[in-house]
Chains A and B, each alone.
Chain A
């Protein structure tokens, strides 16, 4: 009975969270006769985003918002695995630190986190593993993301390792698990819990962030705190963090053992040996990549008029060494100008001046190379879940 009651409670909370207020009212379950609030059907506090799915909410950023070094919070992409996303009341919210390999279990309020630990700020790219999945040929099942399931932001918070050190880490520690306040409508659905290898959790660039671009985190991006795992894909960047456990055994759930995995030896990436098997490994490092942000496929441009080609380039944290542009379908390549460097985990804006002197179709390409020597491939590397699409873009524009 308790289970059922809990389930019903969750469904009602879910309905409220997803604009089912009118339904609740009609059913007589609403506590008050508050006027219909149709705005709850939208992503409150967000500007226009490209909807992929309503529930759970998955919305990507229109590429024109990548024109600035830091992606505005209002237009930062939204990605959830589960539909029940509570509005966290920060007064009651606590971050609990525990697990079988922790010294002393502790709990922190937001105020304590801010007060008791050194605050640091990192510019880092948050990139969904499946960004650009829709570009795979043949197509791959899953959220059909275009190029907007990413965003660059200035994250302010405290180091996870400082917080864990306060609780004390036992010698048996192997992984650090991350759980957030969001959950599925059905209690039988596996909760979204991820883990990191201890080394990555203790990296100085792994933060518990409470600010994004100088403001509190937006609700849809993890208020009040989310994890920042600089250089790694966003599946580990747990939103609405509530529980962090240091454990001595590999986390065994579908989000680690089944999802977010790539064939072994197919991509370069950080080690996660406790979760590796003979055939597959967890996806970890962001792949070197770039995006042209101000040209559209099939766009018409006037001849002899200088054209500024703009874009961004990024990798897992070695930093971008160069971006090369081809305007002749890859026959010749010229260097783009790299813009201000905000740190090795930030994307790097770049620009290239081009004067199209003939009326014809130009095929424009951008190719990034990282300081570690990795460069974008011309064809995306096929993999079952459609991750790491980092093929060189080819945009055809018509000069008239």
Chain B
């Protein structure tokens, strides 16, 4: 069981090798973004929308993940995630 929990903790950001080739830009919040977002989807969802979203767009997108998709992300983490995405992946 402990092993399973350990597995879950390393699962974030670890799926297919192809997927692992996606490395987010360094910056404050990178680890949190990688672990929280990759819990459900690969990180190319972020890079794909880098030229599309501004702050309002990322706010809306992260909110959608929380309210519509029930992503287990608290308010404090949400702010860190949005700030990181705006700083590193916004148009």
Q: Which residue numbers of A lie inside 8 Å of B, CB to CB?
A: 8, 11-12, 14-15, 18-20, 23-24, 27-29, 38, 40-42, 51-56, 83, 139-144, 184-186, 188-190, 254, 258-259
Q: Given A19-B17, A54-B16, A56-B41, 20 more contacts at CB 8 Å?
A: A11-B7, A11-B8, A15-B15, A18-B15, A18-B16, A27-B7, A28-B3, A29-B3, A29-B7, A38-B17, A40-B16, A41-B16, A42-B18, A54-B44, A55-B15, A55-B42, A144-B48, A186-B71, A189-B71, A259-B68
Q: Pick the contact of A144 from B3, B19, B52 — CB < 8 Å?
A: B52
- Asked if B40 CB lies within 8 Å of chain A CBs, one says yes
On whether the beta carbons of B7 and A41 are closer than 8 Å, the reply is no
Given A41-B18, A254-B68, decide whether A23 and B40 contact each other with a Cβ distance below 8 A.
Answer: no
Question: Could you tell me the distance between the alpha carbons of A40 and B19 in the complex, rounded to whole angstroms?
Answer: 12
Would you call B14 and A188 a contact (CB within 8 A)?
Answer: no
Shortest Cβ gap from A394 to chain B (Å): 21
Cα-based distance from A8 to B4 in the complex (angstroms)? 7
Determine if A53 and B15 form an interchain contact, defined as CB atoms under 8 angstroms apart.
Answer: no
Q: How far is B3's CA from A53's CA once the two chains are assembled, in angstroms?
A: 29
A-B contact pairs, 23 of them (CB 8 A): A8-B4, A20-B14, A20-B15, A23-B7, A27-B6, A38-B17, A40-B16, A42-B18, A52-B44, A52-B48, A53-B41, A53-B44, A54-B19, A55-B42, A139-B51, A141-B60, A143-B48, A184-B69, A188-B70, A189-B40, A189-B69, A254-B68, A258-B68
Query: Are B11's CB and A15's CB within 8 A?
Result: yes
Of residues B3, B40, B51, B72, which shows the largest number of chain A Cβ atoms within 10 Å of its Cβ? B40
Q: Which of B28-69 contact A (CB under 8 A)?
A: 39-42, 44-45, 48-49, 51-53, 57, 60-61, 68-69
Alpha-carbon gap, A328 to B69, bound state (A): 48
Instruction: Give me the 7 closest cross-chain CB pairs, A-B, nearest first.
Output: A19-B16, A54-B42, A55-B42, A54-B19, A41-B16, A139-B52, A188-B70
Q: Which residues from chain B sit less than 8 Å from chain A, CB to CB?
A: 3-4, 6-8, 10-11, 14-19, 22, 39-42, 44-45, 48-49, 51-53, 57, 60-61, 68-72, 91
What's the Cα separation between A29 and B71 when bound, in Å? Answer: 27
Complex Cα distance, B78 from A277, in Å, reads: 31
Distance in angstroms between the alpha carbons of A29 and B17 in the assembled complex? 19
Q: Tell which of A27, A140, A188, A259 touches B3, judged by Cβ atoms closer than 8 Å.
A: A27
Query: A27 contacts which chain B residues (CB < 8 A)?
Result: 3, 6-7
Bound-complex Cα distance A41 to B16 (A)? 5
Q: How long is the Cα–Cα vector from A28 to B4 in the complex, in angstroms? A: 10
On chain B, the residues within 8 Å of A20 by CB distance are 11, 14-16
Q: What residues of chain A lie closer than 8 Å to B7, measured between beta carbons?
A: 11-12, 15, 23-24, 27, 29
Most chain A beta carbons < 10 A, residue from B6, B14, B16, B53: B16
Q: Which residues of B contact A24 (CB under 8 A)?
A: 7
Interchain CB contact under 8 A, B42 and A11 = no
Partner of A41, one of B3, B14, B17, B57: B17
Question: Chain B contacts of A51 at CB under 8 A?
Answer: 44
- Chain A residues positioned under 8 Å from B6 (CB to CB): 27
CB of A168 to closest CB in B, whole Å: 35
Q: Is the CB of B72 within 8 A of A188?
A: yes
Residues from chain A with a CB closer than 8 A to the CB of B3 are: 27-29
**Which of A23, A142, A185 has a CB less than 8 Å from the CB of B14?**
A23
What residue of chain A has the Cβ atom nearest to residue B49's Cβ? Answer: A141
Closest A residue by C-beta to B10: A23
Distance (Å) between the CB of A48 and the closest chain B CB?
13
Q: How far is the CA of A53 from the CA of B46 in the complex (A)?
A: 10
| Complex CA–CA separation, A218 to B38 (angstroms) | 27
Residues of B within 8 A of A11 (CB): 7-8, 11
* Separation of A184 and B39 alpha carbons in the complex (Å): 10
Which one, B17, B45, B52, B69, contacts A140 given CB within 8 A? Answer: B52
The interface residues of chain A lying within 8 Å CB-to-CB of B22 are 54
Residue numbers in B under 8 Å from A55 (CB-CB): 15-16, 19, 41-42
Q: How far is the CA of A259 from the CA of B8 in the complex (A)?
A: 30
| A40 contacts across to B, CB distance below 8 A | 16
Given contacts A19-B15, A140-B52, contact A29 B40 (CB under 8 A): no
Q: Which residues of B contact A259 (CB under 8 A)?
A: 68
